[in-house]
Amino acid sequence: KAKNASQPEFLQAVEEVLESLRPAVEANEEKFKKEALLERITEPERQIIFRVPWVDDNGQVQVNTGYRVQFNSAIGPYKGGLRLHPSVNIGIIKFLGFEQIFKNSLTGLPIGGGKGGSDFDPKGKSDREVMAFCQSFMTELYRHIGADTDVPAGDIGTGAREIGFMYGQYKRLKGVYEGVLTGKGLSYGGSLARTEATGYGLLYLTEEMLKCNGNDIAGKTVAVSGAGNVAIYATQKAQELGAKVVTVSDSTGWIYDSEGIDVALLKEVKEVKRARLTEYAANRPSAEYHEGKGVWTVKCDVALPCATQNELNLEDAKALVANGVIAVAEGANMPTTLDATKYLQENGVLFAPGKAANAGGVATSALEMSQNSERLSWTFEEVDAKLKNIMVNIFHNLDNAAKKYGFEGNYVVGANIAGFEKVADAMTAQGIV
């Protein structure tokens, strides 16, 4: 703890996982101690930190810091996104990389855990500036990654545009055409349904969780936070399944739309114009725009936090419970604080943690890797069907793991144990490395 005292998000993620692994550890205490399994699994295999210099449109040199944490390769090559956001530091990347180990294991696919990014802010930058940054970032990163070693993907601030610029630079430096990044454009090895995968997957898992608890997503009122990749496609799939999504948000404000969010308009504002949500409100008579934070004050049956870490705190959890929420499923990584999670669970709210609920993105990235390896492209329907199958299986795996250790209905415990068991087994089998 002392060693990582300056990394609160990493400590928070580790605390959540270790606390819920207690029953699995107690069943095998001697082995865990002797092999220092918990000590090894919480220490990244490798951490790379590097300088990223680039030239802005005024001819001024700017300097950012780049990160790649290769956390655990026990079950496959490192896999995890690249976050571009001013808040990025080594603690944030370590928390995300740590979570990624268990998430990737839960997908049932052979991928290890990693994460990276930079404190660069793509917001307000020209396309040329974004390209200059991405090329410089890859000029260092390329020597540490590869289709069979480490395969980065998108995350906050890294979408199709950024992945394209990075892929071009990788190919130029290494001279190989390989699936080294996922989330690529469809014309150069990307997978159909990858853009939609995290949001769609979140809804497939939420639908299954509700169904197994005698409920149904159809007819429910849903509050979504965020207005990025995950939030947009979660909103779209929720509406397709017959729910009504009444909110979205970004870092400056939020929308309440009494008629239900207009996904086509939201896409136009966020994906095409790269504008703020005020633009959505200006074009939608049924929408109200509010400054600041407030999505969780709205009356809803299902809450889907899809923006960022620690965006749903204890006060928000109390408001949700008072308004009768029945389920919370995390589209973002660790959006709910530990005390808020506990409060929701104690008040009978079904709670699906991000490492299970948002695993559809990385699962589909792994399907993109498979397609690249066999030099084929599957149809949208094929990928979507595999995604749905994976999400339904994930739910049952964590449900069963929770039951096995006497924590029925506690999907946090279930997800952590189910994700951990496979990785721990592989680490043991591979000796002390």
Active site annotation includes 115:
yes
Binding residues for ligand NDP, rule CB under 6 A, total 22
Residues 365 and 191: their CA atoms lie apart, in Å, by 8
For every residue of 324-361, DSSP letters joined together read T--EEE-SSSS-B-HHHHHHHHHTT-EEE-HHHHTTHH
Burial of residue 58, with CB atoms counted within 10 A of its CB: 0-12 exposed, 13-18 middle, 19 or more buried: exposed
> 113 a known binding residue?
no
Q: Which is nearer to ligand NDP, 20 or 364 (CB)?
A: 364
Q: Which is nearer to ligand NDP, 66 or 199 (CB)?
A: 199
Q: Which is nearer to ligand NDP, 308 or 371 (CB)?
A: 308
> 62 a known binding residue?
no
Query: What is the Rg, in whole angstroms, of the alpha carbon atoms belonging to the chain?
Result: 21
> 65 a known binding residue?
no
Cα-based torsion angle of the residue sequence 171, 77, 9, 184 in order, rounded to the nearest 10 degrees: 40
CB of 95 to ligand NDP, least distance (A): 10
Separation in Å, CA 278 to CA 149, 249, 433: 43, 10, 52
CB of 23 to ligand NDP, least distance (A): 27
Helix (H, G, I), strand (E, B) or coil at 415: helix
> 100 a known binding residue?
yes
Contacts with ligand NDP, 175-204, as mask; x by CB under 6 A? -----------------------x------
> 154 a known binding residue?
yes
Return the residue of 156, 325, 340, 412 that touches ligand NDP, per CB under 6 A.
156
Residue among 1, 3, 115, 273 flagged as catalytic: 115
> 103 a known binding residue?
yes
Q: Which is nearer to ligand NDP, 32 or 78 (CB)?
A: 78
Q: Does 91 bind ligand NDP (CB under 6 A)?
A: no
Q: In what order do the strands lie in the sheet with 150-153?
A: 46-55, 61-72, 112-118, 78-84, 150-153
> Using a CB cutoff of 8 Å and minimum separation of 24, what contacts does 26-32 make?
31/428
Residue nearest to ligand NDP (CB): 228
Q: Which of residues 227-256 bind ligand NDP (CB under 6 A)?
A: 227-231, 250-252
Q: Which is nearer to ligand NDP, 44 or 81 (CB)?
A: 81
Opening angle at CA 12, ends 11 and 13, nearest 5? 90
Q: Does 154 bind ligand NDP (CB under 6 A)?
A: yes
Q: Which of residues 318-377 bind ligand NDP (CB under 6 A)?
A: 331-333, 358, 361
Residues 247 and 235: their CA atoms lie apart, in Å, by 9
> 235 a known binding residue?
no
Residues contacting 94, CB < 8 A, separation 6+: 4, 7, 9, 10, 44, 47, 69, 71, 115
Q: Does 106 bind ligand NDP (CB under 6 A)?
A: no
Task: Copy the structure tokens of residue 236.
Answer: 């779209």
Q: Which of residues 296-325 bind ligand NDP (CB under 6 A)?
A: 306-308
Half-sphere exposure of 429 (CA within 13 A, CB side): 9
Please give the biggest Cα pair distance in the chain: 64
Residue 325 phi/psi, 5-degree rounding, is -60, 140
Please choose, out of 3-11, 44-52, 148-156, 410-418, the segment that lies near ligand NDP by the rule CB under 6 A: 148-156
Angle, in degrees to the nearest 10, between helices 380-404 and 411-429? 100
CB of 347 to ligand NDP, least distance (A): 24
CB of 79 to ligand NDP, least distance (A): 11
Active site residues: 115
Residues annotated within a binding site for NAD(+): 198, 229
Instruction: Give residues in contact with ligand NDP (CB under 6 A).
Output: 154-157, 198, 226-231, 250-252, 306-308, 331-333, 358, 361
Residues annotated within a binding site: 79, 100, 103, 154, 198, 229, 365
Residues annotated within a binding site for substrate: 79, 100, 103, 154, 365
